[in-house]
Amino acid sequence: MPGTAAPVNLAHALSQFSEMWSQKTVASLNDYEVKLAKLKGEFVWHTHDDTDELFLVLDGRLTIRLRDGDVVLETGELFVVPRGVEHCPVAEQETAILLFEPAGTLNTGDADGPMTKAAERLDRP
């Protein structure tokens, strides 16, 4: 097996960055990426036409606004936004999340703008 397998400590990985709304890739699985992000404030309304998007709240509270109602996630809860569903994440306090989505998925989906940013690989110690 190429490379050395090592666990990813999520708390340590989260301590390695402070930028809000900046996704950090911590692992890959087949054609998917496991990403961490810290959120505070309101993101942009957007859609991912070709993929579902999994949000898992590691610490804090996240509201995912949908056109037909909000989904509120507390620490330890997850929600999958189905492909093609317009949504807008909002965190009133700093919130740490884990995302699971296909490699190369842009954070703003179909909504290009100043918050659009590709995920960066977070180096492991």
| Range list of β-strands (E), 30-86 | 32-42, 53-59, 61-66, 69-74, 78-81
* Per-residue pLDDT tens over the stretch 5-47: 789 999 999 999 999 999 999 999 999 999 999 999 999 898 9
Q: What is the CATH number of the domain that holds 46?
A: 2.60.120.10
Task: Report if residue 4 sits inside a domain.
Answer: no
Task: Report if residue 40 sits inside a domain.
Answer: yes
* Whole-prediction pTM: 0.85
CA distances from residue 62 to 26, 49, 81, 103, 122 in whole angstroms, order as listed: 21, 22, 13, 23, 23
Task: Report if residue 5 sits inside a domain.
Answer: no
**Helix/strand number for the chain, H first, E second:** 1, 8
Task: Report if residue 64 sits inside a domain.
Answer: yes
Task: Report if residue 2 sits inside a domain.
Answer: no
Q: How far is CA 43 from the centre of its chain?
A: 12
Residue range of the domain that includes 108:
10-121
Domain count for the chain, please give it. 1
